[in-house]
Amino acid sequence: MQLRFKQRFFSWFDSYDIFDEAGDTVYTVKGQFAWGHCLKIFDALGNEIGMIKERIFTWFPKFEMYIGGQCVGCISREFSWFKPKYSIDCNGWQVTGDFFEWDYTITNPGGQLVATVSKELFNRTDTYLLDIADPNDALCVLMLVLAIDAEKCSRKD
Protein backbone atom coordinates (compact mmCIF):
# COMPACT_ATOMS: atom_id res chain seq x y z
CA MET A 1 0.00 0.00 0.00
CA GLN A 2 1.29 3.43 -0.86
CA LEU A 3 0.19 6.70 0.74
CA ARG A 4 1.17 10.24 -0.20
CA PHE A 5 1.27 12.58 2.79
CA LYS A 6 0.93 16.22 1.73
CA GLN A 7 0.80 19.30 3.94
CA ARG A 8 -1.77 21.89 2.96
CA PHE A 9 -0.31 25.12 1.60
CA PHE A 10 -2.66 27.54 3.37
CA SER A 11 -3.62 26.50 6.89
CA TRP A 12 -3.47 28.23 10.23
CA PHE A 13 -2.64 25.01 12.08
CA ASP A 14 -0.91 21.92 10.72
CA SER A 15 -3.20 20.30 8.17
CA TYR A 16 -2.45 17.39 5.88
CA ASP A 17 -4.20 15.35 3.25
CA ILE A 18 -3.23 11.71 2.80
CA PHE A 19 -3.90 10.14 -0.60
CA ASP A 20 -3.78 6.56 -1.86
CA GLU A 21 -2.25 5.37 -5.16
CA ALA A 22 -5.37 6.42 -7.09
CA GLY A 23 -5.23 9.97 -5.71
CA ASP A 24 -8.26 9.52 -3.44
CA THR A 25 -8.20 11.11 0.01
CA VAL A 26 -7.87 8.32 2.60
CA TYR A 27 -7.17 10.45 5.69
CA THR A 28 -7.30 14.11 6.66
CA VAL A 29 -5.21 15.47 9.50
CA LYS A 30 -6.16 18.70 11.24
CA GLY A 31 -4.14 20.55 13.83
CA GLN A 32 -6.01 21.73 16.91
CA PHE A 33 -5.38 24.74 19.12
CA ALA A 34 -3.75 23.34 22.26
CA TRP A 35 -0.69 23.58 24.48
CA GLY A 36 1.82 21.73 22.33
CA HIS A 37 0.97 19.96 19.10
CA CYS A 38 -2.37 18.19 18.81
CA LEU A 39 -3.23 16.52 15.52
CA LYS A 40 -6.53 14.76 14.89
CA ILE A 41 -6.84 12.17 12.12
CA PHE A 42 -10.09 11.69 10.23
CA ASP A 43 -11.07 8.97 7.76
CA ALA A 44 -12.51 9.70 4.30
CA LEU A 45 -16.01 10.01 5.81
CA GLY A 46 -14.92 12.63 8.37
CA ASN A 47 -14.91 10.33 11.41
CA GLU A 48 -12.16 10.97 13.95
CA ILE A 49 -10.06 7.81 14.13
CA GLY A 50 -6.83 8.90 15.81
CA MET A 51 -4.92 11.65 17.56
CA ILE A 52 -1.33 12.66 18.24
CA LYS A 53 -0.77 14.81 21.29
CA GLU A 54 2.42 16.40 22.55
CA ARG A 55 3.08 16.01 26.25
CA ILE A 56 4.19 19.29 27.72
CA PHE A 57 6.49 19.92 30.66
CA THR A 58 8.96 17.22 29.61
CA TRP A 59 12.73 17.66 29.19
CA PHE A 60 12.58 16.60 25.55
CA PRO A 61 9.61 16.55 23.15
CA LYS A 62 7.30 13.56 23.63
CA PHE A 63 4.30 12.66 21.49
CA GLU A 64 1.61 10.12 22.32
CA MET A 65 -0.52 8.36 19.69
CA TYR A 66 -4.16 7.50 20.37
CA ILE A 67 -6.70 5.34 18.55
CA GLY A 68 -10.23 5.40 19.97
CA GLY A 69 -9.03 7.24 23.09
CA GLN A 70 -6.50 4.46 23.86
CA CYS A 71 -2.78 5.25 23.83
CA VAL A 72 -1.16 2.93 21.26
CA GLY A 73 2.36 4.30 21.37
CA CYS A 74 4.67 7.23 21.85
CA ILE A 75 7.79 8.76 20.45
CA SER A 76 10.18 10.89 22.46
CA ARG A 77 13.39 12.67 21.65
CA GLU A 78 16.47 11.55 23.58
CA PHE A 79 19.63 13.44 24.36
CA SER A 80 22.17 13.36 21.51
CA TRP A 81 24.93 15.67 20.36
CA PHE A 82 24.62 15.94 16.60
CA LYS A 83 21.80 13.88 15.08
CA PRO A 84 18.31 13.54 16.50
CA LYS A 85 17.76 10.31 18.43
CA TYR A 86 14.35 8.93 19.37
CA SER A 87 12.81 6.39 21.68
CA ILE A 88 9.87 4.71 19.94
CA ASP A 89 7.24 2.62 21.67
CA CYS A 90 4.74 1.45 19.05
CA ASN A 91 4.11 -2.22 18.22
CA GLY A 92 7.75 -3.01 19.03
CA TRP A 93 8.74 -1.27 15.80
CA GLN A 94 12.18 0.17 15.16
CA VAL A 95 12.92 3.15 12.96
CA THR A 96 16.26 3.38 11.20
CA GLY A 97 17.62 5.82 8.66
CA ASP A 98 18.17 9.50 8.41
CA PHE A 99 15.46 11.33 10.38
CA PHE A 100 17.02 14.68 9.54
CA GLU A 101 16.60 14.11 5.80
CA TRP A 102 13.30 12.21 6.23
CA ASP A 103 14.29 8.94 4.58
CA TYR A 104 13.84 6.02 6.93
CA THR A 105 12.46 2.52 7.33
CA ILE A 106 10.21 1.01 9.96
CA THR A 107 10.73 -2.66 10.85
CA ASN A 108 8.97 -5.04 13.23
CA PRO A 109 10.75 -6.93 16.06
CA GLY A 110 11.55 -9.78 13.64
CA GLY A 111 13.35 -7.36 11.32
CA GLN A 112 10.66 -7.51 8.62
CA LEU A 113 9.88 -4.31 6.75
CA VAL A 114 6.75 -2.50 7.94
CA ALA A 115 7.17 0.68 5.87
CA THR A 116 9.59 3.00 4.13
CA VAL A 117 9.21 6.77 4.34
CA SER A 118 10.79 9.23 1.94
CA LYS A 119 10.43 12.96 1.49
CA GLU A 120 9.68 14.19 -2.00
CA LEU A 121 11.78 17.18 -2.95
CA PHE A 122 10.82 20.27 -4.93
CA ASN A 123 7.26 20.65 -3.61
CA ARG A 124 5.80 23.84 -2.15
CA THR A 125 4.77 22.00 1.00
CA ASP A 126 6.13 18.98 2.87
CA THR A 127 5.27 15.87 0.88
CA TYR A 128 6.16 12.32 1.94
CA LEU A 129 5.71 8.96 0.31
CA LEU A 130 4.83 6.06 2.62
CA ASP A 131 5.24 2.51 1.27
CA ILE A 132 3.44 0.23 3.74
CA ALA A 133 3.80 -3.57 3.56
CA ASP A 134 0.50 -4.40 5.35
CA PRO A 135 -2.50 -2.07 4.85
CA ASN A 136 -3.62 -2.92 8.42
CA ASP A 137 -0.59 -0.97 9.69
CA ALA A 138 -1.39 2.17 7.68
CA LEU A 139 -2.90 4.23 10.51
CA CYS A 140 -0.09 3.45 12.99
CA VAL A 141 2.58 4.16 10.35
CA LEU A 142 0.88 7.46 9.51
CA MET A 143 0.71 8.40 13.18
CA LEU A 144 4.40 7.60 13.67
CA VAL A 145 5.37 9.75 10.67
CA LEU A 146 3.16 12.60 11.92
CA ALA A 147 4.74 12.39 15.38
CA ILE A 148 8.26 12.54 13.92
CA ASP A 149 7.22 15.51 11.74
CA ALA A 150 5.69 17.29 14.76
CA GLU A 151 8.89 16.72 16.76
CA LYS A 152 10.91 18.28 13.94
CA CYS A 153 8.58 21.30 14.01
CA SER A 154 9.00 21.56 17.81
CA ARG A 155 12.76 21.65 17.35
CA LYS A 156 12.44 24.60 14.96
CA ASP A 157 10.21 26.62 17.33
pLDDT per residue over 38-74, tens digit each?
A: 899 999 999 999 999 987 766 677 889 999 889 999 8
- Cα distance between residue 120 and residue 46, in whole Å: 27
Q: Region 67-93: what's the mean pLDDT?
A: 81
Provide CATH code, domain 2-156. Answer: 2.40.160.200
Q: 96 exposed, middle or buried (CB, 10 Å; 0-12, 13-18, 19+)?
A: exposed
Beta carbons within 8 Å of 4's beta carbon, 6+ residues apart: 18, 19, 20, 127, 128, 129, 130
pTM: 0.84
Q: For position 33, what pLDDT does the model report?
A: 65
Q: For position 11, what pLDDT does the model report?
A: 43
